[in-house]
Amino acid sequence: MTEQPDFAIERLGECRFPSPMKKVRFFDDRERIMYHSRFDEIRPYLDQGSAPPTLELAGPRERIFFDPSAIACGIVTCGGLCPGTNNVIRALVLSLHHHYGVRKIYGFRYGFEGLVQRIGHSPLELTPETVDNIGQLGGTILASSRGPQDPAEMLATLEKLKVGILFTIGGDGTLKGAAAVAAEAARRGSPISVIGIPKTIDNDISCVQTTFGFETAVAEAQRAIYAAHTEAAGAKNGIGLVKLMGRDSGFIAAFSSLAGGLVNFCLVPESPFGLDGFLASLRERLEQRSHAVVAVAEGAGQELMGNTGERDASGNVKYGDIGIYLRDSIRKHFTRNGMELNLKYIDPSYIIRSQPANPHDSALCLMFGHNAVHAGMTGRTNMVVGFWNHLFTHVPILQATSRRKRIDPDGWLWSSVLASTGQPREMR
């Protein structure tokens, strides 16, 4: 029996109020899209006589759960910086204000810390005027932090401020924190909706084909790769080594390698490699072409360095610095073999993540924000806005955080990378 993923969305109750939105296309709750797009994935369900899994479409509904004149809403941003976060905040505020008439919108500062009264971060009151020009700014006007807080304390703050909808902008850890708040609200019978908006520059959240900020990150990474190539090509046995973001998923490194066609070795977490095999291939490249460009995702090659055993504030294992490790290993290898080497190491990570969103990401942010507001106003909760098969959807947080989205080593993306770089499929 093929396992059926549960994409049912939690609801706070019956939608008793007519939507104040006019002249829009309202979506019916029965409108859904297929989760799988390939027939070989769908066929097992058909063979056993069951319906393939589907996702609920996002968008405005004709009737809503909350009375817009009687509620306040809250917004919080957590985790690392990502291009487009301010654009999402702006979209949320403008949609709440202009589409639904909500007049009380709080911005909780410094991540989930801002929801804990004893810490003392007073919330900001957000209006269309205060968010008017923030779309041109990198970072987040609400600032951020990492790590969990007590769901009971956070819920107490929401209840005190009469917040009916909390919008959480963040990645895997943030979504798990949001689910904890939603669970606490359900346990206490508090009619509070918790809606997640996926923020991960690594593009690694399940059921979201593209997260905002990813395209901006790839474009900025290209600048670093171009610089690395220029340096490498301008010297005998020149190597340009660029470390890019990607803890567990190497999408930025992969797409950056494809975009410019300048990368000769793309190293990602999904495709393990041996140091000796990589160095042998790199040496062969230099003997043939006298220069090479290497793009490495931060989570690649961790097995070469060993587990530090340490964890960060979000509970993630602290990874070793693969960029420094490769830089030093390459130098030692070529020195040991008596070969001249001119290596330039570039780590643009903080430059990339602090950029404002490019036009494509800005548009994506607006649509994520609008669809989050529509979902919250209808009383949906414990869910994240997804983007799947080029359509916006509703996804239970449990499903979105059940596993990381990763590159398939046997899929089209990695095959395209190998065809572009010319690197061996196996480097052991």
Tell me the pTM: 0.96
Pick the CATH number of 10-211+357-388 from 3.40.1190.20, 3.40.50.450, 2.60.120.260, 3.40.50.620: 3.40.50.450
Residue 79: predicted pLDDT: 94
What amino acid occupies position 17?
A: F
Same fold, 10-211+357-388 and 215-354+409-421: yes
Beta strands in 66-185 (DSSP E): 72-77, 104-108, 124-125, 163-170
- The gap from C-alpha 33 to its chain's centroid, in whole angstroms, comes to 22
- Mean confidence (pLDDT) of the chain: 96
**pLDDT per residue over 214-259, tens digit each?**
999 999 999 999 999 999 999 999 999 999 999 999 999 999 999 9
Token pair for 305: 């360095």
**pLDDT per residue over 152-202, tens digit each?**
999 999 999 999 999 999 999 999 999 999 999 999 999 999 999 999 999
CA-to-CA distance for 118 and 109, rounded, in angstroms?
Answer: 14
Q: Which residues are marked as active site?
A: 202
- The gap from C-alpha 186 to its chain's centroid, in whole angstroms, comes to 27
CA-to-CA distance for 115 and 183, rounded, in angstroms?
Answer: 16
Residue 262 has pLDDT above 70, yes or no: yes
**pLDDT per residue over 77-109, tens digit each?**
999 999 999 999 999 999 999 999 999 999 999
Residue 270 has pLDDT above 70, yes or no: yes
Average the pLDDT over 51-71 and give the result: 97
Least confident range from 113-127, 268-282, 306-320, 343-357: namely 306-320
CA-to-CA distance for 380 and 193, rounded, in angstroms?
Answer: 6
Residue 1: predicted pLDDT: 58
- The gap from C-alpha 116 to its chain's centroid, in whole angstroms, comes to 25
Residue 428: predicted pLDDT: 86
Domain boundaries, the chain: 10-211+357-388, 215-354+409-421
**pLDDT per residue over 325-343, tens digit each?**
999 999 999 999 999 999 9
- The DSSP-derived string for 244-304 is E--SS--HHHHHHHHHHS--SEEE-TTS---HHHHHHHHHHHHHHHSEEEEEEETTTTHHH
234 contacts: CB under 8 Å, gap ≥ 6? none
Residues in the chain: 428
Q: pLDDT tier at 2 (50, 70, 90 boundaries)?
A: low
- The DSSP-derived string for 326-369 is HHHHHHHHHHHTT---EEEEE--HHHHHTSPPPHHHHHHHHHHH
* Closest listed residue to residue 177, CA positions, set 248, 117, 113: 113
Residue 147: predicted pLDDT: 86
Q: Looking at the domain covering 215-354+409-421, what would its CATH class be?
A: alpha beta
User: Apex CA 284: angle with CA 282 and CA 285, to 5°?
Assistant: 65
Average the pLDDT over 120-129 and give the result: 97
